[in-house]
C-alpha cells in the first residue's frame, strides 16, 4: 500500500510538473474522442434515415378489373402467407378509385374522363411490405407464374428496385467510410499521444535512471505512468462526454425535422452513455498505456 501511494504521489507530481504536456495529452485525447463520437453520430443518423426510407418503400400489386372475388382472395392469401411479407393491405376497386380521384383532384380533365366511363376502370390493389427491401424481388418472382398472369395486371417494382439499390449503396459506402476514418483517427491519435508521452518521459529520463540505480523495479518505475494513463483517460472521457452531450442538445432540433424525433441523439446518447463511456475509456487507456510502455522501454534497460 505504501508503494502504491508513492506511485500515485509520483504520478501527480509528474502531471503538475509537466502541466503543459499533460494538458496537450488530454487535449489530443479529447479531440480523438470527439472525432470518434462524430463518426458514430453520422453513422447513427445515416442508418436511421435509411431505415426510415426503407419503411416507406412498398410494392403495389395491381389486379385486373375482371378478376373475380375468389381469384383476388386467392392472390391476397398467397401473398400474405409468404414468409418475407410483414404486411399486406388490400384496397378494393372503390378504394382505389377514390384514392385516384384524391390524387388528381386538381386535374379537371382526368376527373371528367372518369365521369364519362360507365364502369370503374381500376382494379383492386394489394400493397405489400417485406422484412427487407431485397425481399421484394422474391415476392415479385413468386407472383410471376402462369396461374396469376390473368389476375395480376402489373407491379410497381422497377422504381422501387432502383431506390432499394441506391439505399444499399449509400449504407455500404457510409459504413466503409466510417470504418476507414475511425482507423485513420486512431492511428493519428496514437502517433501524437506516443510522441507527447515520449517527450514527457524524456524530460524525466535522469530521474528514471536514478530510480533504477537505487534498485527500483520496472513496475515501480512504470507505475506513475500507468496511473497517469488512468487519470488522462478519466479526464478526457469525462470532458468528451460533457461536450458530446451538450452537442446533442444543439443538433437535435435540426435533426428532428428530418428524423421526426426532436430528441433522437439526446435519447440515444443518454440511454447508451455508460457503455459508450466505458468503451471509450478502454480505448483511450489502452492507447496511453501502450504509448507509455513503448516510449519508456529504452530507459528501463539502463
Let me know: does 178 contact 37? Beta carbons within 8 Å.
no
Give me the percent of the chain exceeding a pLDDT of 70. 85
Mean pLDDT of 100-125: 79
- The residues that bridge with 89 in the sheet, in sequence order, are 127
CB neighbourhood size of 36 (10 A): 23
Mean pLDDT of 155-167: 61
pTM score: 0.65
User: What is the Cα gyration radius of the chain?
Assistant: 32
pLDDT in tens, 117-145: 777 778 888 888 887 777 777 888 887 77
Instruction: Decide if pLDDT at 168 tops 80.
Output: no
pLDDT band at 167 (very low <50, low <70, confident <90, very high): low
pLDDT in tens, 210-264: 777 777 676 777 777 788 888 888 898 999 889 988 888 888 887 777 677 778 8
Between CA 59 and CA 69 the distance in angstroms is: 21
> 158 or 137: which carries more pLDDT confidence?
137
> 62 or 198: which carries more pLDDT confidence?
62
* The pLDDT value given to residue 239: 92
- Sequence-ordered list of residues with C-beta below 8 angstroms from that of 72, at least 6 positions apart, any chain: 63, 90, 124, 151
pLDDT band at 163 (very low <50, low <70, confident <90, very high): low
Average pLDDT of the chain is 78
Which of 82-86, 162-166, 203-207 ranks highest by mean pLDDT? 82-86
C-alpha cell at 260: 421526426
- Lowest mean pLDDT, pick from 28-32, 191-195, 282-286: 191-195
Please give the C-alpha separations between residue 208 and each of 147, 155, 205, 285, in angstroms, as whole numbers.
86, 77, 5, 22
If you write DSSP's letter for every residue of 89-132 in order, what string do you get?
A: EEE-HHHHHHHHHHHTTT-HHHHHHHHH-SS-----EEEEEESS
Mean pLDDT of 87-99: 85
Please report the domains of the chain, with CATH numbers, ordered by start residue.
2-53+165-300 (no CATH), 58-132 (3.30.70.3040)
DSSP element (H, E) containing 194: helix 158-203
Instruction: Decide if pLDDT at 150 tops 60.
Output: yes
pLDDT in tens, 169-210: 776 777 777 777 777 777 776 777 677 667 767 777 777 777
Instruction: Decide if pLDDT at 154 tops 80.
Output: no
Let me know: does 296 contact 208? Beta carbons within 8 Å.
yes
* The pLDDT value given to residue 42: 79
Amino acid at each position: 500500500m505504501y508503494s502504491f501511494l508513492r506511485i500515485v504521489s509520483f504520478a501527480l507530481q509528474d502531471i503538475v510538473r509537466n502541466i503543459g504536456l499533460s494538458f496537450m495529452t488530454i487535449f489530443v485525447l479529447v479531440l480523438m474522442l470527439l472525432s470518434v463520437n462524430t463518426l458514430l453520430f453520422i453513422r447513427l443518423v445515416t442508418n436511421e434515415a435509411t431505415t426510415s426510407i426503407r419503411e416507406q418503400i412498398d410494392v403495389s400489386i395491381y389486379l385486373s378489373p375482371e378478376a373475380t372475388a375468389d381469384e383476388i382472395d386467392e392472390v391476397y392469401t398467397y401473398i400474405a402467407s409468404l414468409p418475407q411479407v410483414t404486411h399486406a393491405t388490400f384496397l378494393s376497386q372503390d378504394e382505389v378509385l377514390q384514392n385516384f380521384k384524391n390524387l388528381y383532384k386538381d386535374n379537371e380533365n382526368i376527373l371528367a374522363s372518369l365521369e364519362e366511363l360507365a364502369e370503374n376502370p381500376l382494379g383492386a390493389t394489394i400493397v405489400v411490405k417485406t422484412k427487407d427491401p431485397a425481399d421484394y424481388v422474391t415476392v415479385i418472382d413468386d407472383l410471376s407464374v402462369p396461374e396469376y398472369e390473368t389476375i395480376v395486371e402489373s407491379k410497381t417494382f422497377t422504381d422501387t428496385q432502383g431506390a432499394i439499390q441506391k439505399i444499399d449503396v449509400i449504407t455500404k459506402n457510409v459504413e466503409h467510410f466510417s470504418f476507414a476514418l475511425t482507423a485513420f483517427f486512431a492511428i493519428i491519435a496514437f502517433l501524437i499521444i506516443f510522441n507527447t508521452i515520449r517527450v514527457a518521459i524524456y524530460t524525466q529520463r535522469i530521474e528514471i535512471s536514478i530510480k533504477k540505480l537505487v534498485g527500483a523495479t520496472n513496475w515501480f518505475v512504470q507505475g506513475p505512468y500507468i496511473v497517469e494513463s488512468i487519470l488522462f483517460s478519466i479526464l478526457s472521457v469525462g470532458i468528451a462526454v460533457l461536450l458530446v452531450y451538450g452537442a446533442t442538445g444543439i443538433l437535435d432540433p435540426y435533426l428532428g425535422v428530418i428524423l421526426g424525433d426532436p430528441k433522437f441523439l439526446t435519447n440515444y446518447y443518454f440511454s447508451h452513455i455508460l457503455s459508450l463511456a466505458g468503451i471509450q475509456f478502454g480505448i483511450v487507456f489502452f492507447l496511453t498505456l501502450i504509448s507509455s510502455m513503448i516510449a519508456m522501454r529504452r530507459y528501463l534497460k539502463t
